[in-house]
A and B are shown apart, each in its own frame.
Chain A
Amino acid sequence: DVQLVESGGGLVKPGGSLRLSCAASGFSFNGYTMNWVRQAPGKGLEWVSSISSSSSDISYADSVKGRFTISRDNAKNSLYLQMDSLRAEDTAIYYCARVIVGAIPPRHYYSDYWGQGTLVTVSS
């Protein structure tokens, strides 16, 4: 079975740093693009960052660009999100999600598996 398990969340002061991890199992991790998506308490979903299977394509939401860094270690079946210069508005549950990208046009793009999420709270 496909499993995604996030870890690394917690309470951090504004300006601080945190590194999230997502451990993948049950599928060939090195063949999939992965996303981080967050959800502030009681709010909607916000895409944060994407990384392609080989790490050749990386993208970020404007709200985190320059502060967050996505990476992966295919040998360890793990996805990471390094979060620096954290702000109160970064408080959210952070989900990792596997991405399906269609092999032929139209190349539809969607997340078929999500982890359970890890809570990041930025507060003094």
Chain B
Amino acid sequence: DIQMTQSPSSLSASVGDRVTITCRASQSITTYLNWYQQKSGKAPNLLIYAASALQTGVPSRFSGSGSGTNFTLTISSLQPEDFATYFCQQSYSPPLTFGPGTKLHLK
């Protein structure tokens, strides 16, 4: 199985900050990488698919990049509603696997 790791596991930031979350795969997954946001008590919400494609309706302050084994999710200017947990997921080969998550909280 492809193992996904994320760093940091937890991140403190302020409204207006630029933040970057990193996701790494245990082997190359080309660009088969998705990012989800999950708010407390809610279902995951798709932000980015295919490493860098912005899902319809997602604000442009979110962006994704990377290929191979290293990927990043960037939020250019944090808004109050962005404080949540972020998961990456690989869809290169079954079984689908998720990263352990990065919890973004208010400094």
Residues of A within 8 A of B50 (CB): 106, 108, 110
A110–B88 Cα distance when bound, in Å, is 11
Known interface pairs A106-B30, A108-B91, A110-B34. Does A44 touch B98 (Cβ–Cβ under 8 Å)? Answer: yes
Chain B interface residue count, Cβ-Cβ cutoff 8 angstroms: 26
Interface centre among B30, B45, B49, B53 (most CB of A within 10 A): B49
**A115 vs B101: C-alpha distance in the bound complex, in angstroms?**
20
Contact A109–B44 (Cβ < 8 Å): no
B 26-42 to A, binary, CB cutoff 8 A, 1 in contact else 0 = 00001110101010001
Q: Interface residues, chain B, CB within 8 Å of chain A?
A: 30-32, 34, 36, 38, 42-46, 49-50, 53, 55, 87, 89, 91, 94-101
Known: A44-B101, A47-B95, A108-B53. 20 other contacts (CB 8 A): A44-B99, A45-B87, A47-B96, A47-B97, A47-B98, A59-B94, A95-B44, A100-B49, A106-B30, A106-B31, A108-B50, A110-B46, A110-B91, A111-B34, A111-B36, A111-B44, A111-B46, A112-B49, A114-B43, A116-B43
